Amino acid sequence: MEAIKRAIYGPDPEEQMRKCNSLLRKNERQLDRHLGSLTGLESKTKSMIKQAAKRGDLSSARILAKELYNVRQQRTRLYKSKAQLASVGMQVKETFAVRKIQGSMKSSTGVMKEVNSLVRLPELTGTMQELSKELMKAGILDEMVTDTLDNIDESDDIAEAEADAEVDAILSEITGGKLGQAGQVPESVPVEEPEEVEEEPDLEDMRERLRALQS
């Protein structure tokens, strides 16, 4: 009976809205999980930087500070994506509300732009594809969004010199100003240990975990 009703009257708008909202929440949970992982990784990396500084191992400290910089950059991107996802949710809600009044659904170029940006995010590729399919069925999108990487905005790329300056700032921040620019660092730096220090992870293992989160 339901199949016959759909064939005659089309998909149920309420059901479509519930599916879209469910997928929006699913994507939000995905982002929250990745943000939680980054927070834990940031804490461990800070601890490793302090330990490297205490040993006077500037090379390892700088490598870890660069990885911490990358983690923070990624976290900023994820928060931006979370705001975009919230914007998609608001626009979808408004579109369904207009449909109730006017009796027809119009595609939204605003949603298309936001979804096109989010579907490229590695953390959301699969779940955003699900959402874009449902939005297309509902008539909010004119066509399927793909995860192509063409024409990605590279304005967020930061010059190497600026990245190095950020790394110096991170070292100074975590070691209370005792570590900073290369060439101006004493042989040994007394850095206060965390109250509870776990067994130090292998540096390469830590970098692998960072790369896994960023891929």
Handedness of CA 124, 130, 131, 136 (dihedral sign): positive
- Tokens linked to 61: 């400290």
C-beta of residue 14 within 8 angstroms of C-beta of residue 71: no
Class of domain 2-150+203-214: mainly alpha
pLDDT at position 8, please?
Answer: 42
| CA dist., res. 174 & res. 169, Å (int) | 9
Q: How far apart are CA 212 and CA 67, in angstroms?
A: 12
* Dihedral (Cα; 151, 152, 155, 156), 10-degree rounding: -170
**pLDDT value, residue 210:** 63
Per-residue pLDDT of the chain (215 residues; tens, 9 = 90+): 444 444 444 567 788 889 999 999 999 999 999 999 999 999 999 999 999 988 888 888 999 999 999 999 999 999 999 999 999 999 888 888 887 776 556 667 778 888 888 888 888 878 888 888 888 888 888 765 554 444 444 444 556 777 888 888 898 888 887 776 543 444 444 444 444 444 455 566 666 666 666 55
Q: Are 179 and 58 in contact (CB under 8 A)?
A: yes
Q: What's residue 6's pLDDT? A: 47
User: How far apart, in whole angstroms, are the C-alpha atoms of residue 187 and residue 56?
Assistant: 6
> How many CB atoms sit inside 10 A of residue 52's CB?
25
Q: Are 78 and 86 in contact (CB under 8 A)?
A: no
